Structure 1
């Protein structure tokens, strides 16, 4: 995809990979719609992105997404891509889970993504891309990964379903990053192998969107190892994962 002149909606644009994607796409001449909860951060970002349109919303509040889709529909907006990076993150051991935080993650990471998948494809032109962010954390249950890993496993599964249900009109892509340097991963108290910057992550996403294929995963020196662990019999994979404790 040549991004010059393309209309792209980024949900979760105010920080992290979403912000890096916005800046790169604007540099390529794309026309952007930027969404997130933080309207002030969106407004500041829009100034750096050729005066992009901002459309604040919160995936924890389904009404806000419905209103955003309605507003774009009334304008007759036809999009080339919708990229949803929005997610909450609160890793930890299952025994230490905060039920309130867990419920919030389910609301945003799973139900919010389902809302995006249900409401937004109608805005895409034929052949447009719906890009959902799962995670390598969703490949297999890891120590200290819950409940975030469980929500991302659900997103991975949802994207697989959508790739079949929405074909051939919508080109569904699943992005599974490894560790990325963001304000979210700053909370991790364990080594993060092959960690990349948001800019490196954004470059990998855009390269993947320009190629054929379903999944965009990176950095591959880490993700291929995790893919191998996932396909091993449990008697072997769980033995390996126990060593991570």
Structure 2
């Protein structure tokens, strides 16, 4: 990677995205920040200093994504694109509102698809595209509801992209555990191994600077869930049922 990277972060208005912007700006990167809430982006840009750009978009609306891509293309090839935008509603599947479920699918999974389609046109040769899954996508868990299903889809999508774009784009997968953000603050259950957005930002940057396909953290949580997902169903499903208690 060049010494001064140009990085587009989508979902940058708060949480992990905002912490990632702060961390990368401190390391000298030039940032393009996107999210729906333009005023939050403007405040973040001001806190980062000169040389950064806010490009608002709504990940549910492909026309806003295309408009943002056209604006960014005029700047020049990007070194990295990190897509973090997501929606989350906790609760059982039977309690979910169908319209809200459709919105979560549109943002989390279809939104990742839209970003994946435009990324190769914006990245330099060998540039990096990182999509955000979740450890919730490793295996179906109680209260995971549609969020977990969409994140499983993002994991699968990213694996496919890794094969399709090999030799052209460096495709990576980010799978955080529980991070203390406005989304996880809605949970009413114990969240083991909780980390701060700042911890998450440092872990993501460290992981994306290695050769590993997946960046997952904290490992005291992720390795246990990976082991659970690797078990045959006859062993894994009784364990997940116990978690619902």
Normalising by structure 1, report the TM-score: 0.97
Gaps of 5+ in 2: none
Relative to structure 1, the CA distance from residue 78 to residue 62 in structure 2 (aligned partners, 3 Å threshold; closer, same or farther) is same
Task: Compute the displacement of 1:53 (Å).
Answer: 0.3
Q: Tell me, which stretches of 5 or more residues in structure 1 are unaligned?
A: none
More displaced stretch, 131-140 vs 119-128:
119-128
Residues 14-55 of structure 1 deviation map (CA, whole Å, 9 limit, x = unaligned):
011000000000000000000000000000000112231000
Q: Is the 8 A contact 1:57 1:65 kept in 2?
A: yes
For 1:46-57, list aligned pairs within 5 A: 46-51=45-50, 52-57=52-57
Distance between the aligned counterparts of 2:4 and 2:102, measured in 1?
Answer: 39
Corresponding residue for residue 173 of structure 2: 174
SS at match of 1:87: coil
Instruction: Give the direction of change, closer, same or farther, for the CA distance of 1:76–1:186 in structure 2 (3 Å limit).
Output: closer
TM superposition shift of 1:76: 4.9
Q: TM-score, normalised by structure 2?
A: 0.97
Shift of 1:196: 0.4
Q: CA deviation at 1:119?
A: 1.1
Deviation digits for residues 104-139 of structure 1 (CA, Å, limit 9, x no counterpart): 101110111100000122110111100100000000
Cα separation, 2, equivalents of 1:206 and 1:184: 22
Deviation at 1:169, TM superposition (A): 1.2
SS in 2 for 1:243: helix
1:58 aligned counterpart, secondary structure: coil
Moved over 4 A (4+): none
State the SS of the aligned residue for 2:41: helix
